[in-house]
Structure 1
Amino acid sequence: MAKGKDVRVTIILECTSCVRNDIKKEAAGISRYITQKNRHNTPSRLELRKFCPYCYKHTIHGEIKK
């Protein structure tokens, strides 16, 4: 029998320092990554350290709504 919802969901991670500080006014864009998470293991919002090409360093990327 099929379950109601999928366990693995696709999420978008967005750089938190670019959003807050609006770094590099001339560079249009905010660093975003697409990944998957297991809803049962991590029910809260996911935060990972990823490389941001606009900040030129590793920053915290947080989960955003679609």
Structure 2
Amino acid sequence: MRPNGPAQRAIRKAQNKSLRLLERITGLDRGYLSRIETGQIRHVADTSVQKIADALGVPTEAITHKEKT
């Protein structure tokens, strides 16, 4: 999946969740989460996107770009 890092960060910030908290909830490395948010990582495993979406309480569509078919 193609993550939408800025959207992910905006949602996380709006919920007053830190990267450290997101790391604890998802089990994903904080540096990895940061690189997703800054656009340094352009493709993320579906399972990782789902973990992040679940932790933020949003559908995966809220934190991903629509895939071109």
TM-score calculated relative to the size of structure 1: 0.28
User: Higher Cα Rg: structure 1 or 2?
Assistant: 1
Bigger relative contact order (CA 8 A; separation at least 6)? 2
Higher helix content, 1 or 2 = 2
